[in-house]
Amino acid sequence: MRDLIKKYRNIVNGKFESEKEDDDESLPLISSVTSSTRSFGTVFRVSDTEQSYNGSVHDRIRRPLSIMPFSQDDVKLNLPKKNPLELYPTLDVYFNGDILSENYPAKRHTQLSISDSVVEEKEEGKNPSIVTIFAVWNTMLGSSLLAISWGIEKTGLFPGMIINFLIGAICLYTAYLLLKVNEKHSVSGERCEVPELCKLLLGSWAELLAKVFSMIVLFGANIVYWILMSNFLFNLVSSLHGFIYSTEENDHVSVICLKDQLSSNHSITTLNDSLTDISIFDKYWNAYTTVPVILAFIMFPMLNFKDAKIFMRFNSLGTISVIYLIGFSFIKSFTWGIHLPDTSTIFELKPTFVALSGMLTLSYFIHNIIITMMKNNRHQDKNGRDLSIAFGLVTFTYSAIGGLLYISFPLSKWCIEDNILNNFGKYDKLVLFGRALLFFQLSTVFPLLAYMLRNDIFSNLSFLKTHGEKFRYLPVVVLNLILVVICILFACFLPRIGTIIRYIGAFSGMVYVFLLPNLLNIYSLRKEQKLTNFRFIFHTSIIILGVLNLLSQFLISDD
């Protein structure tokens, strides 16, 4: 025990056994082999057994950390004497034993080979350009496919094509700005999206703005999807009921004009209500009263899952739905043929054209996730090219579907609904299958969007953070209940997806598409001392366009 205490005192005082001191003094501070066995690398404990195991311990240290470099004299003066029982702090790799030894070139070559293989593995884990392009294309295409013909009707055919191209070009440019700013200023190895970039370059106010409007987009998407699900569910059940009980042949019309029916039936309804009894089915199965509430009993349990992994498995349905809608549009267009009674009107710009510009801002909206999506691209130097191709495909898809359905629509263009499927009879088999497919797809997407919205809200409100605690159902249920009630109110009192899309698009697009990307780019250019007057005026004018796009939405009516 006395010897043990003595050795411990010697260790604390930095004294060692005489034979160890002799060995240490006879060795240089940094040598090719012996010093390596006790190199000043990552914090570790060295034993005599480890020293004799295949040379240096440093050979088994794969990633030494680095700190501010010191001179060798400083290292020699400040480092404590080495003891096999001591823990050593990390020093820069350039001051280990191998950097100045004859073995360094071979070991450096080995390290480079290992790092190259790691890079190759990372490259293999990323997506090729074709996958990235179609991922962006599929993400942007959504409910706007059903409303694009309505937007063109509000604008005019030829002006609608031009506005579609211009809004697409602006959204492409601002998305590319986000990629370039992220490339210049993001911190390597850390998650960096638009809110993080805004905090880094513009301040906390911009980060808060980005987070709030990202949640607004998710909230608006939930409302639109709820309205569509209510519509699809109503028509599906009505069609099945009609197939079983209806004997009216006039119900089998292929194209209808709901606006004409509503205007003509308004006066007839009050007259006939006292003469004819409304069927029990029509009384309790109403698209704007009972169906949104019944839908809540179907969807609400699915919103309270701890995670949304099960719904992510149905993501491929989105691609199938988009392809089906494209095929459906082409089939109907070729079946109807061209219907343009007055060709002079195709060049006329209508005063309600801003409805299309507001809607397209949301249709091309991908800015809150574009950095993450393009980070998964295997060829980072081709991000600009791949992003341009993806936006070009989206522009072509919107133009093709919207233009073809507008040109071929056999009734008055005024009849085109913001949900084009409402213009078809409930017994059209193509439409019936499309509604069933879209309803199933949206019923899996809606819980996923609600889950994303829940995570955003909980992560940004400190009193709702779990801090590693168990999953709490009460806050989740309360939040989902509020979300469902709001969605029901919109489905009952404002079931117009075109109106909601254009307001949400103009509102959120002003921040995410027009404002933040240009402010970030202006700051980046000023930091690099490359901000010229022309560049400042150009990017400021884009911001002004976004403000005008928002304000103009309040000056028009969808009626």
pLDDT score of 389 more than 70: yes
Closest CA to 80 of 6, 13, 26, 23: 13
Which one-letter DSSP state was computed for residue 345? G
| Whole-Å CA distances, 221 to 175, 402, 471, 483, 517 | 20, 21, 26, 12, 22
Provide DSSP, 78-125. HSPPP-TT-B-----GGGSTTTTSTTHHHHHHHHHHHHHHHHHHHHHT
Under 8 Å CB-to-CB from 79, ≥6 apart: which residues? 40
Dist CA 306 CA 322 (whole Å): 29
Whole-number Cα distances in Å, 297 to 227, 402, 438: 15, 35, 19
Q: What is the pLDDT of residue 439?
A: 94
pTM of the model: 0.75
Amino acid code (one letter) for 137: W
CA 24 to CA 14: how far, in whole Å? 13
Mean pLDDT of the chain: 78
Mean pLDDT for the stretch of residues 63-87: 41
Q: What confidence score (pLDDT) does residue 473 get?
A: 82
Give the residue among 375, 315, 314, 362 at the shortest CA–CA distance from 214: 362
Question: Reduced to 3 states, what is the DSSP secondary structure of residue 377?
Answer: strand
Residue 45, φ and ψ in degrees, nearest 5 = -110, 130
Mean pLDDT of 306-314: 77
pLDDT grade for 407, boundaries at 50, 70 and 90 = very high
Nearest to 265 by CA among 280, 247, 278: 278
| pLDDT over 50 at 106, yes or no | no
Which range, of 121-125, 223-227, 529-533, averages the lowest pLDDT? 121-125
Residue 242 confidence class, pLDDT cut points 50, 70, 90: confident
pLDDT of residue 3: 52
For the domain covering 128-499, report its CATH number: 1.20.1740
| Cα 286 to Cα 278: distance, rounded to the nearest angstrom | 12
Could you give the 3-state DSSP secondary structure of residue 254? coil
Q: Where in the chain is the domain with CATH 1.20.1740?
A: 128-499
Contacts 24+ apart (CB under 8 A), 105-112: 107/59
Residue 439's φ and ψ, nearest 5 degrees, are -65, -45
Q: Model confidence over 274-304: pLDDT tens digits?
A: 434 467 888 889 999 999 999 999 999 999 8
pLDDT-based confidence at residue 410 (cuts at 50, 70, 90): very high
Q: What is the pLDDT of residue 376?
A: 86
Sign (positive or negative) of CA dihedral 156, 158, 161, 163: negative
DSSP designation for 515? I
Per residue in 353-369, pLDDT (tens digit) is 999 999 999 999 999 99
What is the model's pLDDT at position 258? 87
- pLDDT at 124 exceeding the cut of 90: no
Please say whether the beta carbons of 369 and 214 come within 8 A.
Answer: no
Rounded alpha-carbon distances, angstroms, from residue 388 to 127, 176, 376, 381: 17, 9, 16, 13
> Would you say 283 and 277 are in contact if contact means Cβ atoms under 8 Å apart?
no
Q: In the prediction, which pLDDT does 112 show?
A: 41
Q: Tell the residue number behind the tokens 């280990």, with chain if given.
A: 96
Q: Is 206 helix (H, G, I), strand (E, B) or coil?
A: helix
pLDDT band for 263, please (50, 70, 90 cuts): low
41 in Cβ contact with 64 (< 8 Å): yes
CA distances from 552 to 348, 359, 556 (A): 19, 12, 7
First to last CA, the chain: 96
Q: Is the pLDDT of residue 56 over 50?
A: no
More confident residue, 60 or 167: 167
Among 243-247, 255-259, 336-340, 508-512, name the one with the lowest average pLDDT.
Answer: 243-247
Q: Which residues of 434-450 are buried (b: 16+ CB within 10 A; e: fewer)?
A: bbebbbebbbbbbbbbb
